[in-house]
Amino acid sequence: MKKEKAFPAMLILSFLIIVLGFAIQEHFFISDQFERARATESIMETGFIGLETDAFGLGLQKIYAPLFDVLSSGIALVTGLPLLSVWKLLGMLAFAIIAFFSFKTALMFLPKEHAYFVSALTVMMPWLFRRLLNAIPETLGLMFFSVSLYFLLKKDFVKLALIFSAFALFHYRSFLTFGLLFLVFSAYFLWKKEITIKQIALPVITSLISLVWIFPRLDSLLATQRIINPWIQFMQLHEIFSVLFFAALILALFLIYKKKYFLFTLPFFVGILIHSLFQPGIFAMRTGVYLFAFIPLILVLGIKELKPRISTRLGLGLLSFGFFWLLVIGHSFVFEPSYFSDENIKALEALKEIEGEKVLSDFIGSYTIPYVTQKKVVIGAFMESVPEANQRLSETFNAFQNCSFAETMKKFDAQILHISPLSSQIFNCNTEKIEKEQLKLVLSHENNYFYVLNRSD
């Protein structure tokens, strides 16, 4: 293969991997999709956006951006496709758009073959790939983010204004993150006298359209809290991302020291600034999603600045590509999907037959239960707006860690305890350790165990 064709081939290969991922998906792959399915099916049934979330039985106001659910319900109604197929289509759309605009953005700074390289590595970054493979609002937020960055650097504020009119209504956090980048870049362009105040006024005005939805919910949004979740350490891998983060940081510092591509490294440092600031939970930025999308850009720029031979660059690229791919396969295809297998979903459906309105389950199970059974949960999706959410998370985690549940169930008015295969594996909670004097086993199915409080309690 000729060298100039190697980089486009990487992009094609990354697309084939996405297609392979979609081909083997037969059910939802991540916990968020169950909550999105619950919200989307409600729109399809009623024709209205639900104003409250009832997953916890607390009558909380719905504060999350609505357009992903509206778009999903519209496509499903028009095409007749199931939601999983709709989200596969949205994932492929996001892949194509992010790949294209990553390429176009990189092409402003790099030769064409390097721009292909940037595009391929960008769409294959683990967290970004994961979001493409399992479409949720964050997926389209990242899509809008990549498009907006391109038009901002091109100083095309008319097209940016069109994007801003809908951006926030798909994903607040993506919009807020890009909004800060918009302010930084706009200030830089104004200082250089490359644009006028009149040019940036239009996207600012169109972004205010989102206030139609946000303003009535502003008090609820600002009241959300940053979640400190002890469950997460068992659910995700962080160490490798920390290593990549500092490697990219060193390269970015090198570029700034050399006064090369300063403007192009700004997003990385603005991202660090955003992440370091204390923000309400709904706006808390996730390093894995946003900062690491820029790592391949910075790595390639750093490699180009160091001027190795093309064969060395290609070798590093393919090595990184393969490494990231294997990491994604291990994280996205092995761990969570087993939790959402048909057998486990059928086991949860058995909950419908057990008397009781609220269930205490582990963190992932609690995302799934409201959709599958229509029962309430103690912890689960979008806890930022739940009063004393961190206390709930901490107390339920301790209950599972100590295999002692009765008092926690009473405190949060839960009538049913669910011990999943994951809970049994991580916490070694089995039927021998459960408080038999206070809890009664009423059903077991596919290594899922369901208990209720004894009536005497």
**Tokens at residue 402, please?**
């100590």
Q: Is 191 exposed, middle or buried (0-12, 13-18, 19+ CB in 10 A)?
A: exposed
Are 183 and 269 in contact, with CB atoms under 8 Å apart? no
Instruction: Kindly provide the residue ranges of all beta strands, DSSP E only, lying in 305-389, ordered along the sequence.
Output: 358-360, 376-377
> φ, ψ for residue 260 (rounded to 5)?
-115, 135
**Residue 162 C-alpha from the chain's centroid:** 24
Candidates 428, 376, 173; CA nearest to 283 is 173
**How far is residue 197's CA from residue 199's CA, in Å, rounded to a whole number?**
5
**Nearest CA to 118 among 141, 139, 93, 100?**
100
Report pLDDT for 343: 77
In order along its 457 residues, the chain shows pLDDT tens digits of 455 565 577 677 777 777 777 777 777 767 788 889 988 998 898 887 765 566 887 777 778 888 999 999 999 999 999 999 999 999 999 999 999 998 898 888 777 877 887 787 777 766 677 788 888 898 999 899 889 989 998 999 999 999 998 998 998 888 887 887 888 889 889 998 999 999 999 999 998 887 788 887 777 777 777 666 666 654 444 444 555 556 666 666 666 666 666 666 666 666 555 555 544 555 444 544 445 555 566 666 666 665 656 566 566 556 655 555 555 554 444 444 456 677 788 888 888 889 999 999 988 888 889 988 989 999 988 888 888 888 899 999 999 888 889 999 999 999 999 988 878 877 777 667 776 668 888 888 878 889 998 865 4
- The pLDDT, as a whole number, for residue 243 is 55
What is the number of alpha carbons within 13 Å of residue 237 lying toward its C-beta?
A: 14
DSSP string, 115-154: HHHHHHHHHTSHHHHHHHHS--HHHHHHHHHHHHHHHHHT
Look at residue 265 and give its three-state secondary structure. Answer: helix
Q: List residues bridging with 439 in a β-sheet.
A: 453
pLDDT of residue 238: 45
**Domain extent listing, the chain:** 3-30+63-338, 342-453
The 3 state secondary structure assigned to 269-300 is: HHHHHHHHCCCCHHHCCCHHHHHHHHHHHHHH
Element (H, E) at 34: helix 32-46
Tokens 């619950």 appear where?
A: 38
